[in-house]
């Protein structure tokens, strides 16, 4: 897509990128930029990976309660173990 096309259709370009497309922008016959979507880092697997690197909290009862709930949910069944 040319730089001119992008500037005239920027909202459409954003819709494409949001939909998973990668848009290459050209000026003349040279690619000068690439727009692509951002990976979302807040998946359950990301959180589980983060938590697995931490030691179990033992000082704050509220944090301990949340920790226990997350670990229990993660380990509750086969589907969760595969997802995390």
The residue segments making up the domain with residue 18 are 3-35
- Same domain, yes or no: 73 and 50: yes
- Same domain, yes or no: 70 and 51: yes
**Residue bearing the bigger pLDDT, 2 or 73:** 2
Give residue-wise pLDDT tens across range 20-54: 899 999 999 899 999 998 766 566 666 767 766 66
- Same domain, yes or no: 72 and 52: yes
Looking at the 3D structure of the chain, how many domains does it have? 2
- Same domain, yes or no: 71 and 49: yes
**Residue bearing the bigger pLDDT, 51 or 19:** 19
Q: Is the dihedral of CA 74, 78, 81, 84 positive or negative?
A: negative
Give residue-wise pLDDT tens across range 57-68: 667 787 778 777
- Same domain, yes or no: 52 and 29: no
pLDDT score of 56: 64
């Amino acid at each position: 897509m040319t730089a001119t096309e992008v500037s005239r259709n920027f909202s459409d370009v954003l819709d494409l990128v949001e939909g998973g497309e990668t848009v290459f922008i050209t000026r003349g016959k040279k690619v000068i930029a690439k727009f692509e979507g951002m990976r979302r880092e807040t998946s359950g697997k990301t959180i589980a990976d983060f938590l697995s690197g931490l030691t179990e909290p033992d000082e704050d009862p509220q944090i301990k309660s949340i920790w226990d709930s997350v670990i229990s949910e993660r380990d509750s069944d086969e589907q969760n173990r595969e997802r995390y």
